[in-house]
A = this chain, B = another copy of it.
Amino acid sequence: MGDPGSDLERYLEPRREERLASLKELLRIPSISALPEHVGDCRRSAEWVAADLRASGIEHVEVCETGGHPVVYGDWLHAEGAPTLVIYCHYDVQPVDPLDLWTDSPFEPTIRDGRILARGAADDKGQLHAHLRAIQALMATRGRLPVNVRYVFEGEEEIGSAHLDSWLDANRNRLAGDLAVISDTPFFQGNLPAITVGLRGLMYCQVDVIGPALDLHSGGFGGAVQNPANALAWILAGLKDPGGRVLVPGFYDDVVALEPGDRAGLAALPFDEAAFLAEAGAPALAGEAEFTVLERLGARPTLDVNGLWGGFQGEGSKTIIPAHAHAKVSCRLVANQDPERLFELVRARILELAPPGVKVDVRYLNGGRPSLTRIDHPGVRAAARALEVVFGRPPLYPREGGSIPVTASFESILGIPVVLMGFSNPDDNAHAPNESLVLANYEGGIRAVARMMDELASGELGGPGPSPRA
């Protein structure tokens, strides 16, 4: 994987078990940012990461208050003349329901078939831990890092990075740098090394349809009052058609159209539609017929119902008109859609669709901007060389359907270009039961991070070194 004769490799190779034990320790902390009962676990996770940074020799390590789950900051700024990287990962994880579909307990990591299984293994604690072990190895073998680094490890990525923007804004001075490296993206299908150059944004909201004060007997009232569950169905049905076209006026106004070159680039990727369908486990693929699957995922916005509920959900029958019904609705956005503007459009459409006889509320829960990166940026080129050396082939440059709101925030708030160098595999079940990370990706990730730092130390980014901006 790495050069077997190097000091780094001699340090890393005998410490595999020790590393895995440490990764398991981090994975055991149920840092589910969405659930209030896990507030303490999120903080425990942050403290764990901070302690590990300190142990490796990172300086100014701090668990920073944000108003929500904390940000872990730390830096090492003694590589004079070398560029400064701002490195981002997140230590929070998705909820684990439906729990009964996990083959193992989500917070008791298990090794099987070359993977480590646990909630957060791929998204994103495994990737964060690869960074921790890269700097541990570099510091242990060389007593220094090739570049200056500032770490920003977040605890609210899975809930839309609610407090990150204001924290970034308030900490601009200590976040000055030349390049941001974000490790929270997957390789390409088939586990092929990849640098993601497009990310979708997100607008997430909740729809509450309120009818009678209590559940009503459907015999005594059915036909004479509006049913909130039926009303919710009319609303949701009116937001998107079965062909995947979103029916919200103005929804597509700001979408950057795919140029022929973009379409050719996406078409050239070795995408295996049958494997993607198998991974989805769905009866068939679906979506906008006039776009390819990769175009739909990377360059087209969506609208999905993430959850809905109301009334009787038990076994058998209960003859009620539910007092209320609810849905979580989110849109994946593409350049240059703005989440807050999109929320207003979706909200207006929902209120227009609401039938008489019920009250409808629409609440913005969170959002993030989409992002597009230039393939020819020196940071992207350094990451590409590191991946090629470690994983044995040049990376692909896909657009990813997911969202990492911080990408746009680094660009817009800190003015730093971003490289998305992540190490998970598309079949890792991120956000789903039985999440895992391929151990070879984890080990390669450690080497690729170190190698990228070496590439940047000597390469074109070699800038003025740390120079906090006002």
Contact = CB atoms under 8 A, between A and B. Distances in A.
B321 A328 contact: no
A218 B302 contact: yes
Contacts of A328: 311-313, 317-318
Interface residues of A, number: 107
Contacts of A217: 402, 430-432
A233 B236 contact: yes
A74 to B, nearest CB: 28
A63 interface: no
Interface stretch (A131-139, A206-214, A451-459): A206-214
Given A219-B403, A230-B304, A230-B305, 11 more contacts: A211-B282, A215-B432, A220-B400, A220-B426, A223-B332, A231-B242, A234-B242, A286-B355, A306-B322, A307-B320, A319-B403
A222 interface: yes
B237 A332 contact: no
Contacts of A426: 220
Given A287-B225, A318-B34, A431 B215 contact: yes
A281 B232 contact: no
Contacts of A95: 312, 314, 318
Nearest to A219: B402
30 contacts: A34-B314, A34-B315, A34-B318, A35-B315, A35-B316, A94-B318, A101-B214, A158-B319, A159-B316, A211-B283, A212-B280, A212-B281, A215-B433, A219-B401, A220-B402, A222-B297, A222-B302, A223-B244, A223-B300, A223-B302, A224-B285, A226-B284, A234-B237, A242-B356, A284-B357, A306-B318, A308-B311, A309-B313, A311-B328, A319-B403
A201 to B, nearest CB: 10
B285 A306 contact: no
Given A223-B288, A365-B317, A430-B220, A98 B215 contact: yes
A325 interface: yes
Contacts of A314: 34-35, 95, 97
A357 B282 contact: yes
A307 B311 contact: yes
A434 B323 CA distance: 14
Interface string A215-254: 1111111111111011111111111101010000000000
A219 B204 contact: no
A366 B296 CA distance: 42
A297 B357 contact: no
Most B CB contacts (10 A, CB to CB) among A287, A304, A330 go to A304
Contacts of A283: 210-211, 226, 357-359
A331 to B, nearest CB: 9
Most chain B CB within a 10 A radius of its CB, from A158, A235, A237: A237
A305 B229 contact: yes
A417 interface: no
A431 B233 contact: no
A431 B220 CA distance: 10
Given A215-B431, A311-B307, A233 B232 contact: yes
A147 interface: no
A125 interface: no
